[in-house]
Structure 1
Amino acid sequence: MQAGRLRYRLRFEKPVRIRDESGEVIVDQWVEAFTIWGAVEPLTGREYLASAEFRPGVSTRIRVRWRDDLDASLRILHAGTVYDIQAVLPVMGLHREAQLMCGSGVVTEGGQP
C-alpha cells in the first residue's frame, strides 16, 4: 500500500453503553477508539456491482493499513460525515491493507446517525 494514497485522517469511534442496576441502557454514545490515515473512495455503480456483494447503502470504500481491532461495530468520522462500517475485507488475505465497505450518514451527537 502506497503511503501517498492515505491522505485523510480518519477518526474511528466505538459505541459505549452504560447500564443501570436493572440492565437497562442509560447512556449510549460514541467515544474515540483511534485515529489513522486512510483513503476515502466513493464507489461508482459499476464497482458496486462488480464487488459480487450486494449490500444496500454501501456507498464508500475506505482503505487503511490492517489493524486487528477493525470490525463492523466501529464507525468512522471524516470531513463532517459518519461512515458506518458494513464489512472489513483484508486485501488478498495478506493482512497488510483493509478495505472497509461503508455507508454514510450525518454527524450526530451520540447515538447512531
Structure 2
Amino acid sequence: MNPGKYRNKITFLKREHGQDDYGEQVDEWTAFKTVWAAKDPLLGNEFFKAVATEAKVEVKFNSRYITGITGDMRIQHDNEIYEILSAIDVKSLHKELLCYCRRIPDGEG
C-alpha cells in the first residue's frame, strides 16, 4: 500500500432519517468521514467482470481501512456522488478498504 497513491479527498456520506416541518419523513445524506483515497476507473478484465454482474460499477476507491463503512453509504468526490455497491476489507486485515461504486447522475440523488 503506497501512501502516495491516495490523492483524492473523498467524504463518506451516511443516510440520516428525520422529519420536515410538516412531520413528513425526510432522508438527508450527512458526512460520516473524510479521507484520502485513490480513485481509479475499472479497466480490462475487472471492467468486463463488473459489467457481467449488471451492477454498473464504474469506478473504485481505495483507502486505508475505516470501520463502519457499508454498502448503504455514498461517496462524495468533488461535485460527484457515488453509490457504494460493494465495500471490501481487503484480505480481511483491516488495513485497506476497496469500494466499487457507480456515479449517481445529477438530480437522481
Superposed pair shares fold, TM > 0.5: yes
Please tell me whether the aligned partners of residues 80 and 107 of structure 1 are also in contact (alpha carbons under 8 angstroms): no
Stretches of structure 1 that go unaligned for 5 or more consecutive residues are none
Tell me if 1:11 matches 2:11: yes
Secondary structure (helix, strand or coil) at the match of 2:70 reads coil
1:43 equivalent in structure 2: 42
Runs of 4 or more consecutive aligned structure 1 residues displaced over 4 Å after TM superposition: none
RMSD: 2.2
1:86 equivalent in structure 2: 85
Secondary structure (helix, strand or coil) at the match of 1:48 reads helix
Tell me if 1:33 matches 2:32: yes
Partner amino acid for 1:28?
D
Stretches of structure 2 that go unaligned for 5 or more consecutive residues are none
Matched residues, percent identical? 26
Secondary structure (helix, strand or coil) at the match of 2:46 reads helix
TM-score by length of 2: 0.83
- Once residues 25 and 41 of structure 1 are traced to their aligned partners in structure 2, the CA distance between those partners, rounded to angstroms, is 39
Gap change, CA 1:25 and 1:2, over 3 Å in 2: farther
1:75 equivalent in structure 2: 74
- Once residues 15 and 66 of structure 1 are traced to their aligned partners in structure 2, the CA distance between those partners, rounded to angstroms, is 20
Give the aligned length: 106
Q: Deviations over 1:3-46 (max 9, x none)?
A: 100011101111111258xxx85221111111001011111252
State the 1:87 CA deviation: 0.6
